Amino acid sequence: MEYDLHVHTTASDGLLTTDQVIARASQSGLKGLAITDHDTVAGIPSPASERIVLKSGVVIIHGIEINTDFHNEEVHILGYYINAGNKALLDRLAEVKQLRQQRASQIVNSLNDMGFAIDMQRVQQLAGDSIIGRPHIARAMIEKGIVGTVEEAFNLYIGRGCPAYVPRYHLLPDEAIILINNAGGVPVLAHPGLIHQSGIIEQILNMGIAGIEVFYPEHTPKQVRDLLNLARERALLITGGSDFHGMGKTRNKLGGAGLNYNLFSTFVEKAWRYRQNR
């Protein structure tokens, strides 16, 4: 796909910097991408605008992915064309950064209580100045030989329902939607196919979400069909992206999911109209 609208960088838990991601996108012939880091706008290349067009013609849309908790599920809200200088957004993200720090320490403590010697300083080092997340803890566990992959760390220890799982700080999807709207952005429900409980998607639609991420590596063909129908019925924007983290997993290849030119044009047009009519 030529337009990948879901990409992470080292500003959150990705392994490549924004420049490296952009270079790779250009090399692999992508026409556009959206930088959508978890709970931060630090990876956005030019905070003064909501998108940029590189000399090569590649479009970079400035976005975010806000991780929220809703009825004991991970619910992630993407925001496109956000104003990265919006004060209310930046203030709340600064708080979230602190709260993430506390949560990471709690998880590390609980792993230590289980007998694994995980060093919080090492986890911090892996995150650097960026937003700290469970993937950084998973990488520290890999270094210690406790698990072989990030996935295994989530499945056995730090994922929901696992022994070292610590619930997220209080951040609900409706707050994320409001933050994105107030920053001039377009709120989109990320990877709806990963939500387990039926009824949650409906509730989130009722919170005023503008679009849904239909194309996603882990969505089955049936999920894609159902989500396309839902988007049509409810006049929602359709987006798609790979959720690239730079980990080289085939399912999360840069450009491995996304929009073609026609769908992207429709997305741009509808996003523009949404922002005009807000």
CB of 266 to Zn ion, least distance (A): 27
Q: Which residue is nearest to ligand AMP (CB)?
A: 133
d(CA 143, CA 146): 8
Nearer to ligand AMP, 96 or 183 (CB): 96
Instruction: Name which position in 32, 37, 75, 76 contacts Fe ion (CB under 5 A).
Output: 76
Fill in the amino acid letter for 45: P
Kindly provide the residue ranges of all beta strands, DSSP E only, lying in the chain, ordered along the sequence. Answer: 3-7, 32-38, 51-53, 59-70, 73-80, 186-189, 211-215, 237-240
CB of 37 to Zn ion, least distance (A): 8
d(CA 86, CA 107): 31
Site residues (CB under 6 A) for ligand AMP?
A: 13, 38, 67, 133-135, 150-151, 154, 159
Tell me, residue by residue from 8 to 37, as one string, x for binding to Zn ion by CB under 5 A and - for no binding.
-----x------------------------
Nearer to Fe ion, 31 or 76 (CB): 76
Q: Following CA atoms 212, 213, 214, 216 in sequence, which dihedral angle do they give, to the nearest 10 degrees?
A: -160
Question: Is position 4 an interface residue for Fe ion (rule: CB under 5 A)?
Answer: no
Instruction: Name which position in 4, 13, 37, 243 contacts Fe ion (CB under 5 A).
Output: 243
CB of 243 to Fe ion, least distance (A): 4
What DSSP line would sit under 126-158, residue for residue? HHTTS---HHHHHHHHHHTTS-SSHHHHIIIII
d(CA 36, CA 6): 6
CB of 45 to ligand AMP, least distance (A): 21
